[in-house]
Amino acid sequence: MNTNKKNEAIFLISTQDRKGILAEVSGFFSKNNFNVIKSQTYSDLIDGQYFMRIRIDLSDMQITCKKFEEDFAELAEKLKLNYTIHYTSNVQKMAIMVSKTSHCLYDLLMHHSEGELDCEIPLIISNHPDLEVVADRFRIPYYCFPVNGANKAEQEAQILDLLKKHHIDLVVMARYMQVLSDNFISNYPNKIINIHHAFLPAFQGGNPYQRAWERGVKMIGATAHYATKDLDEGPIIEQDVERINHENTPEELRAIGKDIERRVLTRAVTEHLEHRIILSGLRTIVFSR
C-alpha cells in the first residue's frame, strides 16, 4: 500500500476538546492554501480529548518546510496543541529483533519486499545465530548478541549503539524472547512494537498456547502492542483471533497462532509506519487508512 509514496506531511495532533477546535485548525490549512488530502478527527468525550490526523499534499508548496513549521508552531502554541509532523519523503528506518522463531520475521520481510511496508530495514538483531540465513536471503545485515545472565546490560548497550548509529525510528520485536530493560525501552518510547502470542489480557506471560488448550478456549489470538516496562501491559495496537476446536492439540494451536501473529504484527507495523497511531494513555487511537 504505497499510498504514502507521494510528497506529503502528516500531522498527528492531540489537545483538550472544546468548541471550534476543528474550525481553527482546518482554517489554518485553508488560509495558507494547503491541500488537505484527508482529515480525520476523534473526539474522546470521556477524557475530554480531541485528536486529529491531517494529511497535506506538499507537491505544490510555495513555502519552505521551515516556514511552514514555524507558522504551525505559532498556531499550536495558541491552541495548546500537542503534535508531531511526519514527512513521507523521510523514509523511516526499522530494526527487527528476533530470537529463533522466523515466521514473523519472514512475514515482515516478505511484505517489505513487495513494497507494502514504507521503510528501510538496515539491520536485524538477534540473541541467536539461527536466523542469519533468513536475513541473508533478503540481503539484510544480521547482528548477533547472545545474552546470558551476566552480559545482558552490556549487550543491550551495544544494541543501543547500533540502533543509534543507524538512526533507527522503529524497533520491532518479532518474537524476540528477551525482556528488554527499562533503560532500553526508555530510549525508544512508543517506538518499540512487540507481538504477544495470545489475546491480551488473557494468557499474559509464558506458554499461552498450552494454557489456552488447558482452559479449553474456542478461539485463540495474538496482540501487537507498544513495549513498556511492564511486560505485556503496553498500549494495544492490533489484535486478531481465529476459531479453534476440541480436536486442535497445543502443537496445532501454535501452528494456527503463527498465522495470527504474522498478520497482527505486520498490520500494527504498517499502521505505525503510516503515522496512523496516536497514544491516549494506555489506549491507542488508530485511524483508518
Query: Which positions from 158 through 187 interact with its own copies, judged by CB under 8 A?
Result: none
- If binding is defined by CB under 8 A, does position 46 make contact with its own copies? yes
Residue 32's contacts (CB-CB under 8 Å, 6 or more residues apart) are 68, 71
The continuous run of DSSP H or E covering 271 comes out as: helix 250-273
* Among 75-83, 88-96, 98-106, 161-169, the segment contacting its own copies (CB under 8 A): 98-106
* Among 61-69, 130-138, 164-172, 188-196, the segment contacting its own copies (CB under 8 A): 130-138
Q: How many residues bind its own copies (CB under 8 A)?
A: 76
Give the amino acid at 203: F
Per-residue x/- track, 101-120, its own copies (CB under 8 A): -xx--xx--x--xx-x----
Give whichever of 7 and 280 is closer to its own copies, judged by the CB atom. Answer: 280
Active-site hit among 118, 232, 240, 259 = 232
Query: Which positions from 190 through 219 interact with its own copies, judged by CB under 8 A?
Result: 199-203, 213-219
Q: In angstroms, rounded to a whole number, what is the distance separating the alpha carbons of residues 198 and 212? A: 9
Residues forming beta bridges with residue 62, ordered by sequence position: none
Computed from CA positions of residues 192, 193, 194, 199, in that sequence, does the dihedral angle turn out positive or negative?
Answer: positive
- The answer to whether 232 is a known catalytic residue is yes
- If binding is defined by CB under 8 A, does position 61 make contact with its own copies? no
Start-to-end C-alpha separation, the chain? 10
> CA distances (Å), 30 to each of 4, 25, 222, in order?
22, 9, 42
Residue 111's contacts (CB-CB under 8 Å, 6 or more residues apart) are 117, 266, 270
Q: In angstroms, rounded to a whole number, what is the distance separating the alpha carbons of residues 244 and 234? A: 27
* Contact call for residues 20 and 43 (beta carbons, < 8 A): no
* Nearest approach, Cβ of residue 165 and its own copies (Å): 27
* Nearest approach, Cβ of residue 188 and its own copies (Å): 20
* Among 38-46, 62-70, 91-99, 171-179, the segment contacting its own copies (CB under 8 A): 38-46
- If binding is defined by CB under 8 A, does position 30 make contact with its own copies? yes
- If binding is defined by CB under 8 A, does position 230 make contact with its own copies? no
- If binding is defined by CB under 8 A, does position 58 make contact with its own copies? no
Query: Which positions from 62 through 81 interact with its own copies, judged by CB under 8 A?
Result: none
- Name the residues annotated as catalytic: 232
